[in-house]
Amino acid sequence: MARIGQPIHLSIEEKQELLTISRSHKLEKRCVERALIILYSADRKSLDKIVELTGKSRPVINKWRQRFRKHRLKGLIDAPRHGKPQTITPEQKALVIKKGRYTKLNQNEIAKEIGISQSKVFQILKKANLNLYNRRYLYRISRDPEFEKRVVSIVGLYMNPPENAIVICVNEKMQIQTLDRNTTKLFLKSNRHRRRMTTYKRNDTVSLVASLAIHTSEITAKNIESNNEESFHKFLKKLDIQSRNKRLHVIVDNLSIHKHKDLEEWLNGKRKIKLHFTPTYSSWLNQIEIWFNISTKNVEKGDIWKSSKQLVDQLIEYVKIYNNTKTKPFYWTYTGSPLIIS
């Protein structure tokens, strides 16, 4: 026969208070469980049944029933812990906040340096509204004296391109790593994160020069051995042949190879090609950077490459797939303060 145990009798006020606690979604789970133990006991449910309903062990259930019989509702509150509570001085608090703001230390490192627990560091930083693990990237403010002129020129090409002309964004992406993981792929399993070995072998690096036609989003890309004037010149010649009889407005950054004297001499005889330079520290203005980010996520990140040729072939194949299935012009959605204040 199931054991009932000594009955617990509740007053109307006690029962109402326990019901309120048991139905709360804001109180801690342990408070709700203790209230349920007492309510089930008052309903004369057996010990085995209460174990089944609450998932708690017999000693735990008996503990809170005895505490309630002795102290009533106050008995369900945790007793004060033994030992002297840790005291944090104002100087220590100030030092935690200072290190959180001005150093790259994590919570554990700050706690060790100051000599307090990591939980206290967390509490101090939380109260000061400081989050060590929340990162935002800010672009560097350009001091280019021609910043306004160059921004207006490039945005004008994006918004209102000249007739019978193609606007193209060009840039190089260097040092793409050809990483070969030391084991085969770890396939995705149900209810598990995608797994990847932390150890790897670096076979080589790959460099890419690419262009994006802004009003079609079509990509042209080529593997380059080194980033110099010669490789950039050859790529421009390729774009020149592809554009046929249309003028080319090419947006590039301020890299020295884009301003090489031999290239300038060649461009002087090419009236159909004009280079537009982004302001210093303003490569974000070049839309090819958006595509580089897309290709990094879809191709480069987390895969396994046995050779640089394998990676190059995959990148060029991705360009073909992108041009056939994903070409769609990018639209600027910035709604913040104007970058140029007149």
Integer-rounded Cα Rg, in Å, for the chain is 33
d(C-alpha 97, C-alpha 110), whole Å: 10
Residue 38 and residue 99 in one domain: no
Residue 132 and residue 155 in one domain: no
Residue 155 and residue 293 in one domain: yes
- Provide the sign of the torsion angle of the four alpha carbons 32, 33, 37, 38, taken in this order: negative
CB 233 within 8 A of CB 150: no
Residue 222 and residue 270 in one domain: yes
Residue 200 has pLDDT above 50, yes or no: yes
Residue 184 and residue 94 in one domain: no
> DSSP readout, 289-305?
HHHHHHHIIIIITT---
pLDDT of residue 81: 64
Residue 170 and residue 310 in one domain: yes
CB 35 within 8 A of CB 18: yes
pLDDT of residue 82: 65
Residue 59, both tokens: 């000693």
d(C-alpha 276, C-alpha 274), whole Å: 7
Name the pLDDT band for 139 (thresholds 50, 70, 90): low
pLDDT tens digits along 245-286: 789 999 999 888 999 999 988 888 777 899 999 998 888 889
Average pLDDT over the chain reads 83
Residue 60 and residue 114 in one domain: no
Asked if the structure places residue 7 within a domain, the reply is no
Asked if the structure places residue 177 within a domain, the reply is yes
pLDDT of residue 42: 86
Total count of domains within the chain: 3
pLDDT of residue 307: 82
Residue 303 and residue 156 in one domain: yes
Looking at per-residue pLDDT, the higher value among 339 and 232 belongs to: 232
- 126 is in which domain, residue-wise? 87-136
Give the H or E element holding residue 30: helix 29-42
pLDDT tens digits along 114-129: 889 888 999 999 888 8
Average pLDDT over residues 212-226: 91
Name the pLDDT band for 84 (thresholds 50, 70, 90): low
Asked if the structure places residue 2 within a domain, the reply is no
CB 107 within 8 A of CB 116: no
pLDDT tens digits along 236-256: 999 988 887 789 999 999 888
Asked if the structure places residue 81 within a domain, the reply is no
Residue 20 and residue 129 in one domain: no
Q: Give helix 261-268 / helix 229-243 axis angle, nearest 10°.
A: 20
Residue 182 has pLDDT above 80, yes or no: no
Tell me which of 26, 46, 76 is where a domain ends.
76
Looking at per-residue pLDDT, the higher value among 311 and 185 belongs to: 311
CATH of the domain at 219: 3.30.420.10
Asked if the structure places residue 335 within a domain, the reply is no
Residue 51 and residue 19 in one domain: yes
pLDDT of residue 340: 56
> Could you give the angle at the alpha carbon of 97 between the alpha carbons of 94 and 100, nearest 5°?
150
Asked if the structure places residue 290 within a domain, the reply is yes
Asked if the structure places residue 37 within a domain, the reply is yes
45-49, 69-73, 208-212, 304-308: range with lowest mean pLDDT: 304-308
Residue 67 has pLDDT above 90, yes or no: no
Residue 85, both tokens: 């509570």
Residue 37 and residue 131 in one domain: no
Asked if the structure places residue 341 within a domain, the reply is no
Residue 165 and residue 266 in one domain: yes
